[in-house]
Each structure stands twice: as C-alpha cells, then as structure tokens.
C-alpha cells in the first residue's frame, strides 16, 4: 500500500466519472449519502489533500487548519482535475515520508503512518466512487487487489470474505454478505503505536503479519538476524485470529523499532484478547544482536502499562521457561512478581500452561 495504489484508485475513479461529466452532479444525491455527487467528489478531493497535508506537515493533535474550496464556476471536468491533483499530492507525500513518520488522524489511536494515510485515501476514493457511480447509473468495480489491501491495512477487525470488494462494501454498510449481519455503524482502524524509552512498539497489521509469517520483513528494516522466529510465529497466530474474524488490533503483535535509526530489533505482543477474568498474556522476543541492551524490559513495561490502562484488563501474565534466567530478570525489572503455587496450578489445570513454564504476574 503506497503512492502507486493511491494513483491507481484515483485513475479508476476519474475514468468512471468522466463518462457522466455532462450530467448535473449537484442535482443527483450520491447513493446512501446526504451529499450530492458534486459534494461527494469535493469531499474526496478534500480528504486527499488533507491527508497529504497532515502527513507532509507531520500534524499533531489536529488537522492542518485549511479547507479545499473550488473556484466559482468549476465544472465537472475541472472537479475531476482537482481529484487527480489532490490524489497526486497524497501519493507524493506518501512516497517522500520516512517509514516511521506519523501524523494526526482521530480514529482510533490519534495518528497514522504513511501506509495508513495511503490506505485511507484509497478507501475514500473506492467507496465514494461506488456511491457516485451507483447514483449516476455507471458500472464500477475496483481491482480486487485494492479492496483486499484496504481491508488488510484498515479493517483488521473484519474477517476476510469470499471476495474483497463485496466484503469491503459490507464492512462499510454498503451491501450484504451471506451469513453476516448487516453493518449499520463502522470505522476503519489505523494501527496502534506505544512509545517506550528507546523503542517504539508499532502495531503490525494483517498485511504485514502475513508477509512476516511467510518469511518477509513485513515492511520493517530489521537489524541483522531479524526478525527472529518468535515474531514470525506470533504473526502466524495473529493471522489465524484475523482469518477467523476474532483479531483485535490493540491485542495484536508489535514490532520494536528504534526511533534513532528506524530499525526493528524485535517483537512483542499479546497471546490473545483478555479472558472473562480480565487476564491477558504477553510475550516478546529480540533479535540476538539487540539483546542485553534493556530493550525487552522497556517493551514489556510499556506493553503492560498499555494493557492495564484499559478497563477490560486487570492482570497481565508472562509465562517463562524454568531455565530462562534473562527473561525472568526482564519480568522482575518490568514490575512482575512470581505467581503463587496455587496460581500456577490453576494456569496449568484451567488454562493449559505447559508444566515447564513459570508464571509471572502484574496486577493493575
């Protein structure tokens, strides 16, 4: 997901709408919206340039304070030129932004990276082109790869369907999907980011997790020897949850990235969502070359604080091998204490914890 995909989406939009350039777009309401087709096209252009501005300007806490206004008398052909131009601006902003750059977007974690802005731009274009095309009685279906990418980058909470475009339409309240209830409210989700002292915990999206489990980099710049096998295994488990429709991105897998050089040194994350008792288990691993620097302690401490700040988490657990003294030291430095004999017995009997593991506990 990047500048090429933004340009591809915009080109498809313009090609379809150009067929109705002689129609009165202001007199036709876009399907499913309160806006006219003219207003919807302006909205698309406004979002594209706003995303470009926020990313290029590294906006924090609010959008860059400006709004797109067309010159009086701009016709439909001129409006499509504006859509093309704002799409080109977003594509350029995405291509030139550093990998770790983030800027303001309100939902749900108050920021997005360059991939997130590209995906949001593509989503706006695909969905609103659909709305306008339906109202203008034009045939429109974007490339399946674009719809699939939008789902994998922005809808990690949505179980993949038999085909990406109908699934994206269903997920945004624009269609039906056999076997699934209608969607009446929806939001896309950018990935969460948790800041520690010397590493940033960057949420791994399903698209990146799929690449990692298959032997790729997930789009991260790893130090030599990375990613380590624990991160790949965690991404494999995460993909199973995504494919089953039970993945929650706030309880997923995170890459540990050093802001100083943008390089990934390890992974950390949750083994699943909190259980009915408010218990959640975390795990981590580091590339061998990054060990012994305190990164693991910082990551575990930050991830634990993130979890315990939530209302649905009361206890954070770490299960560590008996002979893994370095990890036991990490747990202690991060504020965990050894579980009681009874707690360990319960973990083995009721939660299938391996007998060769020791349980460490951190309560809110």
CATH code of 67's domain: 1.20.120
Please check whether residue 265 is in contact with residue 300, taking contact to mean a CB–CB distance below 8 angstroms: no
Over range 19-27, report the average pLDDT. Answer: 96
Give domain status of residue 11, yes or no. Answer: yes
Please check whether residue 61 is in contact with residue 102, taking contact to mean a CB–CB distance below 8 angstroms: no
Instruction: Give the 3-state secondary structure of 146-200.
Output: HHHHHHHHHCCCCCCCCCHHHHHHHHCCCCCCCCCCCCCCCCCCCCCEEECCCCE
- The answer on 328 and 215 residing in a single domain is yes
pLDDT bin (cut points 50, 70, 90) of residue 11 is very high
Give domain status of residue 185, yes or no. Answer: no
Task: Give pLDDT, residue 324.
Answer: 87
Task: Give pLDDT, residue 8.
Answer: 98
Give the distance, in angstroms, between the CA of residue 14 and the centroid of all CA atoms in the same chain.
Answer: 27
Q: Which residue has the higher pLDDT, 330 or 76?
A: 76
pLDDT bin (cut points 50, 70, 90) of residue 345 is confident
Q: Judge whether residue 351 has pLDDT over 80.
A: no
Task: Return the DSSP state at 58.
Answer: T
CA dihedral 334, 340, 341, 343 (to 10 degrees): -90
Task: Give pLDDT, residue 148.
Answer: 94
- The answer on 107 and 157 residing in a single domain is yes
- The answer on 197 and 115 residing in a single domain is no
For residue 122, what are the CA distances in angstroms to 5, 10, 158, 219, 235?
7, 8, 18, 19, 25
Q: State which of 104, 139, 171 marks the end of a domain.
A: 171
- The answer on 317 and 278 residing in a single domain is yes
Query: Could you read off the pLDDT of 138-184 as tens digits, one per residue?
Result: 999 999 999 999 998 999 989 998 899 999 999 999 999 998 999 99
Question: Cα-atom radius of gyration of the chain, to the nearest Å?
Answer: 23
CA-CA distance, 354 to 344, in Å (whole number)? 10
pLDDT bin (cut points 50, 70, 90) of residue 237 is very high
Q: Where are the alpha helices (DSSP H) in the chain?
A: 3-17, 37-57, 76-96, 114-135, 144-154, 164-171, 206-213, 229-244, 295-308, 325-333, 341-351
- The answer on 198 and 157 residing in a single domain is no
Which residue, among 139, 138, 147, 149, has the nearest Cα to 115 in the 3D structure?
Answer: 149
Which residue, among 291, 353, 275, 288, has the nearest Cα to 321 in the 3D structure?
Answer: 353
- The answer on 119 and 222 residing in a single domain is no
Parallel/antiparallel/unpaired status of strands 263-270 and 221-222: parallel
Please check whether residue 205 is in contact with residue 156, taking contact to mean a CB–CB distance below 8 angstroms: yes
Give domain status of residue 261, yes or no. Answer: yes
pLDDT bin (cut points 50, 70, 90) of residue 281 is very high
Which residue, among 269, 277, 278, 326, has the nearest Cα to 303 in the 3D structure?
Answer: 269
- The answer on 96 and 240 residing in a single domain is no
- Looking at the DSSP assignment, which residues form a beta bridge with residue 283? 269
Q: Judge whether residue 359 has pLDDT over 90.
A: no
Burial environment of residue 308 by CB neighbours within 10 A (0 to 12, 13 to 18, 19 or more): middle
How many Cα atoms occupy the beta-carbon half-sphere of 57 within 13 Å? Answer: 17
Task: Give pLDDT, residue 26.
Answer: 96
Percent of the chain whose pLDDT exceeds 70? 100
CB atoms near residue 186 (< 10 Å): 13
pLDDT bin (cut points 50, 70, 90) of residue 355 is confident
Q: State which of 108, 137, 171 marks the end of a domain.
A: 171
Q: Judge whether residue 263 has pLDDT over 90.
A: yes
Task: Give pLDDT, residue 100.
Answer: 83
Query: Could you read off the pLDDT of 82-111 as tens digits, one per residue?
Result: 999 999 999 999 999 998 899 999 888 889
Q: CATH code at 321? A: 3.40.630.30
Q: Judge whether residue 2 has pLDDT over 80.
A: yes
- The answer on 239 and 109 residing in a single domain is no
Q: State which of 171, 201, 230 marks the end of a domain.
A: 171
How many Cα atoms occupy the beta-carbon half-sphere of 151 within 13 Å? Answer: 23
Over range 282-310, report the average pLDDT. Answer: 92
Task: Give pLDDT, residue 313.
Answer: 93
Which residue, among 346, 328, 350, 349, has the nearest Cα to 337 in the 3D structure?
Answer: 328
Place of tokens 């490339």: 143
Q: Judge whether residue 364 has pLDDT over 80.
A: no
- What is the residue range of 288's domain? 193-363
For residue 193, what are the CA distances in angstroms to 19, 72, 99, 199?
43, 42, 14, 11
Over range 340-360, report the average pLDDT. Answer: 82
What are residue 315's phi and psi, to 5 degrees? Answer: -140, 135
pTM of the model: 0.89
- The answer on 275 and 153 residing in a single domain is no
CA-CA distance, 110 to 339, in Å (whole number)? 36
pLDDT bin (cut points 50, 70, 90) of residue 349 is confident
Whole-number average pLDDT of the chain: 92
- The answer on 355 and 275 residing in a single domain is yes
Give domain status of residue 176, yes or no. Answer: no
Give domain status of residue 325, yes or no. Answer: yes
Burial environment of residue 204 by CB neighbours within 10 A (0 to 12, 13 to 18, 19 or more): buried
Give domain status of residue 248, yes or no. Answer: yes
Query: Could you read off the pLDDT of 192-217 as tens digits, one per residue?
Result: 899 898 999 999 999 899 999 999 99
Total number of domains constituting the chain? 2
- The answer on 166 and 197 residing in a single domain is no
- The answer on 63 and 201 residing in a single domain is no
Give domain status of residue 187, yes or no. Answer: no
Give domain status of residue 73, yes or no. Answer: yes
């Amino acid at each position: 997901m990047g500048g090429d995909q933004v340009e591809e989406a915009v080109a498809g939009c313009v090609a379809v709408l150009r067929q109705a350039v002689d129609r009165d777009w202001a007199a036709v309401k876009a399907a499913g919206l309160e806006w006219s087709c003219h207003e919807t096209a302006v909205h698309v252009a406004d979002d594209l340039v706003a995303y470009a501005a926020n990313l290029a300007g590294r906006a924090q806490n609010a959008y860059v304070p400006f709004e797109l206004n067309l010159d009086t008398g701009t016709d439909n052909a001129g409006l499509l030129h504006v859509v093309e131009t704002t799409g080109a601006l977003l594509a350029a902003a995405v291509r030139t932004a550093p990998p770790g750059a983030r800027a303001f977007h309100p939902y749900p974690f108050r920021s997005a990276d360059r991939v997130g802005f590209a995906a949001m731009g593509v989503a706006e274009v695909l969905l609103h082109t659909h709305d306008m095309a339906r109202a203008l009685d034009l045939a429109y279906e974007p490339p399946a790869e674009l719809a699939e990418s939008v789902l994998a980058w922005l809808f990690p909470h949505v179980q993949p369907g038999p085909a990406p475009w109908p699934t994206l339409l269903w997920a945004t309240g624009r269609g039906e999907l056999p076997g699934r209830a209608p969607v009446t409210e929806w939001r896309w989700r950018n990935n969460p980011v948790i800041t520690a002292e010397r590493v940033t915990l960057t949420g791994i999206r399903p698209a990146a997790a799929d690449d990692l489990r298959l032997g790729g980099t997930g789009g991260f710049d790893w130090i030599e020897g990375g990613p380590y096998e624990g991160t790949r295994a965690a991404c494999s488990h995460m993909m199973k949850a995504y494919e089953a429709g039970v993945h929650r991105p706030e309880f997923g897998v995170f890459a540990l990235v050093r802001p100083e050089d943008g390089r990934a040194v390890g992974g950390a994350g949750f083994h699943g969502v909190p259980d009915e008792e408010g218990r959640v288990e975390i795990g981590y691993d580091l590339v061998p070359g990054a060990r012994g620097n305190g990164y693991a302690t910082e990551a575990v401490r930050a991830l634990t604080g993130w979890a315990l700040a939530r209302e649905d988490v009361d206890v954070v657990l770490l299960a560590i091998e008996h002979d893994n003294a370095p990890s036991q030291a990490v747990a202690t430095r991060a504020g965990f204490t050894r579980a009681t004999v009874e707690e360990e017995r319960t973990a083995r009997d009721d939660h299938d914890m391996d007998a060769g593991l020791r349980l460490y506990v951190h309560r809110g």
